């Protein structure tokens, strides 16, 4: 997740480039069974489950309405889980509500995975991670630092 407080003086703006995820000035790792998200807070989290999508199936990660009703958004703009993806799913959680929201690992279920069967399975060359753009393939951490 982003470090608390203001950006360091030498960072005037964030540009989305592969090096963004390597910046020790921006990110902090924090593991906890219980996590509180402050109003206007943002955190990258990950599912406990690992997902492996075959070439004829894609998924959409969506928030659940009970959590949305208290202001929690579970993904901001990236709901699609591509055919061929293998890893944990990163949740981009933002609290847009007026109160602190608490999540407990293994107990709360703020997200759901919807599966969509493809009429024509993708060729192996077209699967997620087959090219050089699949930086999230085999992820085990919400911040893609290790691209193996």
Q: Annotated catalytic, 92?
A: yes
Using a 10 angstrom Cβ sphere, with 0-12 exposed, 13-18 middle and 19 or more buried, the burial of residue 34 is exposed
How many residues are given for the chain? Answer: 148
Q: In what order do the strands lie in the sheet with 42-52?
A: 42-52, 86-95, 72-73
Residues 42, 14: Cα–Cα separation, whole Å? 15
Task: Name beta bridge partners: 59.
Answer: 81, 115
In 3D space, the residue among 24, 123, 42, 112 whose CA is nearest the CA of residue 83 turns out to be: 123
Among the listed residues 30, 49, 52, 92, the single catalytic one is 92
In 3D space, the residue among 72, 62, 83 whose CA is nearest the CA of residue 42 turns out to be: 72
Active site residues: 92
């Amino acid at each position: 997740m982003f470090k608390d407080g203001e950006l360091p003086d030498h960072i005037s703006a964030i540009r989305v480039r592969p090096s963004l995820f390597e910046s020790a000035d921006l990110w902090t790792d924090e593991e906890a069974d219980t996590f509180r998200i402050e109003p206007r807070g943002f955190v990258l989290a990950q599912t406990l489950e690992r997902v492996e999508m075959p070439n004829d199936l894609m998924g959409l990660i969506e928030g659940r309405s009970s959590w949305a009703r208290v202001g929690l958004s579970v993904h901001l703009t990236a709901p699609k889980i591509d055919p061929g993806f293998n890893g944990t799913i990163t949740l981009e959680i933002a609290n847009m509500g007026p109160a602190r929201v608490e999540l407990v690992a293994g107990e709360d279920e703020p997200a759901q995975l919807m599966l969509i069967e493809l009429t024509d399975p993708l060729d192996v060359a077209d699967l997620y991670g087959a090219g050089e753009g699949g930086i999230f393939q085999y992820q085990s951490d919400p911040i893609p630092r290790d691209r193996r």
